[in-house]
Amino acid sequence: MTPVELSRTVLRAVRRAVEEGELKVAVPERVVVAPPGGGGCGDYATGVALQLARPAGQTPQRVAGILRAQLLRQSGIREVAVTGPGFLNISLGGSAAVALVAEILAAGVRYGEGDALRGQVVRLGVPSEVRAVVQGEVLVRLLRSQGADARLVHLTDLAPRTQVSRPSGSSGRDAEGEGVRLPQEWSAVLGVPAVLPAPDGDVSALAPVPVPVPAPADVLTLGRDAARWALLYPAPHDRPDVPGVHLLQRESNPLFRVRYAHARVRSLLRNAADLGYASEPGEAAGQAGAERALLALLGDHPRVLAAAAAQRAPDRVARQLVAVADAVMPLLPAVLPLGEEKPSAAHRARLALAEAAGAVLAGGLDLLGIDAPDHL
């Protein structure tokens, strides 16, 4: 059960409580669910009871108790606990965890793509500044992953333009036509476009990328992957750390943790194949607290990608990948059988959960334009 599906389930519980006369409130249009914060438990939490308490004329604890009973009647929910002033902490059933892992494995690196922005035409305008161009390029990928028709164009007419040859048979002014040529080393090192096309029509229709704090001049010395991470990981208003820790092969380097976690998962899959078994989603994964925390992050991944695209915040994707990497690493020692132990359903289920995390890491790095090596 994804967060979106769980939100709908909570709404159904509110609606049923209203229909049965337990609550006298207007059913909200949407309910926010998220991984529980400090003092919480379970897979997800929601403060809908606090939201409805005053309109219902009841205490948040009383509303939470009503909704808890309704939620326990819904399929896919194993337990609901009320904490604090009235937060509902929801634990999903094993079958929901199995379905989530199976969904991720079926989608692979494209898990999290959707159509929330389908039909939107977005022309992102960026100036000729290396960090703005890298962030704009990633935002185009994110917007396209959510169904939008997105393209990167030059924000102003301040830089000199160059006429670029178009392929035979092409027409119109597009990425192959009139535009602003960027420094060659940006394309060579970072893989960004060699030319930013000029905007088509009224420049006021552009959706400008939030102009970030400019990158230091020595950012290109880091190489493609570390440089892109250095430009994307900090929020746009934060100064990039260059060279910083981005080239260090140690835990203090967030990029290393993400890529290392992915490489470890790939190594476990190879080792499991040598032992004659493969991953298989099952009930055994998702029972421990650490596994549930990882499942919550994986289930939240589509929402993170959609929010990063809508809010023009590629740093949210980078932080999500660090969280997934840090959550999966403690689980990996229990994936393979030890000594003379034979592979069991539990091993296959844990391997499937690890593989799902690896797919999210690989897909997220791909959206950021960063390599996800199988060996590190």
pLDDT tens digit string along 58-67?
999 999 999 9
Single-letter code of the amino acid located at 150? A
Q: Do 14 and 31 form a contact (C-beta atoms < 8 A)? A: yes
CB contact at 8 A, 40 and 26? no
C-alpha distances in angstroms, 303 versus 98, 124, 336? 19, 21, 31
Q: Which pLDDT score, from 0 to 100, does residue 144 have?
A: 95
Q: What does pTM read for this prediction?
A: 0.74
Residue 283: its pLDDT value, please? 73
Whose CA is closest to 125, among 198, 208, 196? 208
> For residues 93 and 43, what is the distance between their CA atoms, to the nearest angstrom?
10
Mean pLDDT of 322-334: 94
Tell me the average pLDDT of the chain.
85
Beta bridge partners of 153: 125
Cα–chain center distance at 100:
15
* Per-residue pLDDT at 327: 94
**140 has pLDDT over 80:** yes
Lowest mean pLDDT among 145-154, 224-233, 283-292, 304-313: 283-292
The pLDDT, as a whole number, for residue 110 is 95
> Which of 37-46, 216-225, 283-292, 318-327: highest mean pLDDT?
318-327
pLDDT > 90? residue 91: no
Q: Which are the contacts of 106, defined by CB distance < 8 A and separation ≥ 6?
A: none
Q: Are 91 and 78 in contact (CB under 8 A)?
A: yes
Distance in angstroms (rounded) separating the CA atoms of residues 197 and 217: 24
pLDDT of residue 285: 64
> Looking at the predicted structure, is the pLDDT value of residue 15 above 70?
yes
pLDDT the model gives residue 174 = 39
What is the average pLDDT across 196-216? 73
pLDDT band at 213 (very low <50, low <70, confident <90, very high): confident
Does pLDDT of 264 surpass 70?
A: yes
Which of 136, 151, 137, 143 minimizes the C-alpha distance to 117? 143
Q: What percent of the chain has pLDDT over 90?
A: 48
Which residues, 6+ apart, have CB-to-CB distance to 161 below 8 Å? Answer: 178, 179, 180, 198
Q: What is the pLDDT of residues 276-313, one digit of tens each?
A: 999 999 876 655 778 888 988 998 899 899 999 988 99
pLDDT band at 171; cut points 50, 70, 90:
very low
Whether 152 and 198 have beta carbons less than 8 Å apart is answered as no
Q: Residue 46's beta-bridge partner residues? A: 88
Residues 139-153 have a mean pLDDT of 93
